[in-house]
């Protein structure tokens, strides 16, 4: 699971994104398992629907033996030149993602001024 990037989004433009929870089961000595979880986001301009993103990225998770769940989606407006990212909206198929969690992940990847990475629950 550590080999999976937390954030993979297009470097510029307005596009759909999804928030995904990955799970990996670690075996304990007594046979009980401890589950490790990780949140990731994926967003691409080529995606017509949010489900298109999940369809494209899920085979890698299957190969790694990870289970996954799409926790919702929305849109991202990424302006690389202005060093700004705005996360907003929802997915008709998956519902609205927790944009605050998506913002936390994006802040870890991009060294933009903190005030330039924003989110809102309004808009589509």
Tokens of 124: 């589509």
Domains with residue ranges and CATH for the chain: 7-119 (3.50.20.20)
Q: What is the pLDDT of residues 2-38, one digit of tens each?
A: 899 999 999 999 999 999 999 986 655 555 567 899 9
pLDDT at position 28 is 58
CA distances 74 to 12, 14, 92, Å, are 16, 11, 9
pLDDT at residue 2, as a whole number: 87
Query: Which residues, including other chains, have CB under 8 Å from residue 104's CB and lie 6 or more apart?
Result: none
Cα pseudo-dihedral 62, 70, 46, 43, rounded to 10: -100
| Other beta carbons within 10 Å of 25 | 12
- Is residue 118 pLDDT above 70, yes or no? yes
Say which residue, 101 or 122, is predicted with more confidence: 101
How many other C-beta atoms are found inside a 10 Å radius of the C-beta of residue 19? 25
pLDDT tens digits, one per residue of 55-89: 999 999 999 999 999 999 999 999 999 999 999 99
Predicted local confidence at residue 12, as pLDDT: 96
**Residues annotated as catalytic (active site), given as ranges:** 50
Backbone angles phi, psi at 31, to 5 degrees: 95, -15
Q: What is the pLDDT of residue 27?
A: 59
């Amino acid at each position: 699971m550590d080999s999976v990037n937390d954030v993979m989004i297009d470097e510029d433009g307005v596009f759909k994104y999804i928030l995904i929870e990955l799970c990996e089961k670690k075996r304990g000595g007594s046979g009980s398992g401890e589950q490790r979880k990780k949140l990731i986001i994926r967003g691409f301009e080529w995606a017509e629907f949010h489900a298109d993103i999940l369809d494209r990225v899920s085979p890698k998770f299957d190969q790694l033996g990870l289970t996954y769940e799409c926790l919702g989606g929305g849109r991202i407006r990424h302006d690389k030149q202005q060093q700004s990212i705005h996360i907003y909206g929802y997915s008709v198929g998956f519902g609205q993602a927790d944009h605050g969690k998506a913002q936390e992940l994006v802040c870890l990847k991009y060294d933009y001024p903190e005030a330039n990475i924003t989110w809102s629950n309004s808009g589509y």
